[in-house]
Structure formats: C-alpha cells, structure tokens
Amino acid sequence: MNRLSQDALIRIVFVLIGFIVGVLDFFLNGQLLESLFKAFAVTAFLFIAELALEIRSHQKRGGEPISEFMRHNRNLTGSLLSVVHNDLQRAVSVQEDKFVVDHETLAILSYDTFWRLLVERMSAGHTLTVQTIHSCAIDVWIDHPLGVSLLNRQSEFCKRGGRISRILCDRSSFMKEPVKAAAEKMMDAGITVYTTIC
C-alpha cells in the first residue's frame, strides 16, 4: 500500500468512528444536533491526535528522509533507493580520525571534490603543499571520465601557488606506457612526479 492509500484509510476509519459515536449518542439521547457535535468532536480529536503523534515521531527520528521514503514507497522506486542506500552505507565507513570510501566511482568523485575544496582554499590566500602517493590502478589518469577534471583541478591548484608532489608506484621493474602517459599529463599540469616500484 502506498502512503496516499494508508492515509486515506486512516481518515476513513476516523470518520467512521465519529459517525458511530454520533449514531450511538443519538439513539441514547435523541438530540440530533448534540449527537452531530459529539461525532465531530471525536473525529476532530482523532485527527489532531494522529497529527501530534506524527509530529512527535518525526522529531524523534530526526527527520530521516531516506528511511521515510523507503517506508512509504514499497514499490520499485523504494526498493531501488533501499539497495543504493545500503551500498552507500557499505561503501563509506567513518573511523576515529578518517573516513574510507571503498567504491571506485565514489572514491574518484570524492577525490575530485577534495581537489575542488583545495583550490577554493587556495583562493582564500593559503599556500599549500600536497604530497601524495598513487599505488592503485593508473587508468583513472588515462581514460576515466573524471581524470580530466582531476588534472584540471590540480593544475588550477598549482597555478594558484600550490605545490603537488606525487609518487607513482608501479609493480614492474620498468615503467609501463600507461604510467609514463599519466606521469606526463601530471607534469604538464605542474605536478612534480616520482616513480617507484611497489
């Protein structure tokens, strides 16, 4: 059942309860106007109580829109959000003094955001030096869609007075073509590059 039908069902039940109270009161007292007032008062009380409970429940949960959406949308959309939300929770872990992104696309996207924030910090008159090591797949610098953005952000960082020193680790005893190509792109962006065997 989706949210609209659940809410509609609750409202119908409230109206029916008010109607039953009004009918019972009419049979007991025989006063139509007084019975209608009592039916209205009971129905209004139920609606106000439901609203108060919903507000209280929302305040206790702290307004978790993702959980709320999944609970009220048990269809394909809610299921998709549930899967994506669970993947994100597994992909990002927070530790005492750091966080780890264990998902290739999110890791690269967060890295791109990291460099955007560093460029913004440079705009505020700070001079920064970044020392970094790249020891995983080199393809992010060669053919990944965000590779160009990463290099542009790092180039902008260097143009604003920042310094970047990067060590590229390779597993072979000689530098392979992709590592050479990545190193050249980095040097063109103003990055000091060192290579080593890992």
Assess whether 107 and 192 both reside in one domain: yes
And the tokens for 88?
């994100």
Last residue of a domain, one of 88, 116, 134: 88
What is the structure's pLDDT at 62?
Answer: 52
Assess whether 108 and 83 both reside in one domain: no
End-to-end CA distance of the chain: 56
What is the structure's pLDDT at 184?
Answer: 93
Closest CA to 164 of 194, 139, 143: 194
pLDDT in tens, 7-52: 677 778 878 887 888 888 888 888 888 888 888 887 877 777 777 7
Report the number of distinct structural domains present in the chain. 2
What is the structure's pLDDT at 14?
Answer: 77
**CB of 122 closer than 8 Å to CB of 115:** no
Assess whether 119 and 185 both reside in one domain: yes
Assess whether 75 and 140 both reside in one domain: no
Residue 92 Ramachandran class (φ > 0 left, ψ -120 to 50 alpha, else beta): beta
Q: Which regions of the chain does DSSP assign to beta strands (E)?
A: 92-94, 99-101, 129-134, 163-170, 192-197
Assess whether 122 and 83 both reside in one domain: no
Assess whether 83 and 108 both reside in one domain: no
**CB of 115 closer than 8 Å to CB of 76:** no
Assess whether 70 and 147 both reside in one domain: no
**Residue 84: count of CB within 10 angstroms of its CB:** 11
Assess whether 186 and 119 both reside in one domain: yes
Helices 65-72 & 76-91 angle (0-180, nearest 10): 150
35 in a domain, yes or no? yes
Closest CA to 183 of 1, 53, 192, 174: 192
Assess whether 73 and 38 both reside in one domain: yes
What is the structure's pLDDT at 145?
Answer: 81
And the tokens for 9?
């069902």
**Phi, psi (degrees; rounded to nearest 5) at 96:** -55, -50
Assess whether 45 and 75 both reside in one domain: yes
Q: In this structure, what CATH number is given to the domain that contains residue 173?
A: 3.40.50
61 in a domain, yes or no? yes
Last residue of a domain, one of 88, 116, 150: 88
Last residue of a domain, one of 31, 54, 88: 88
95 in a domain, yes or no? no
What is the structure's pLDDT at 63?
Answer: 47
98 in a domain, yes or no? no
pLDDT in tens, 123-167: 667 788 999 988 777 888 888 888 888 999 999 999 988 999 999
Burial of 78 (C-beta count, 10 Å sphere; 0-12/13-18/19+) = middle
93 in a domain, yes or no? no
Closest CA to 182 of 172, 171, 195, 173: 195
Domain that holds residue 123: 103-197
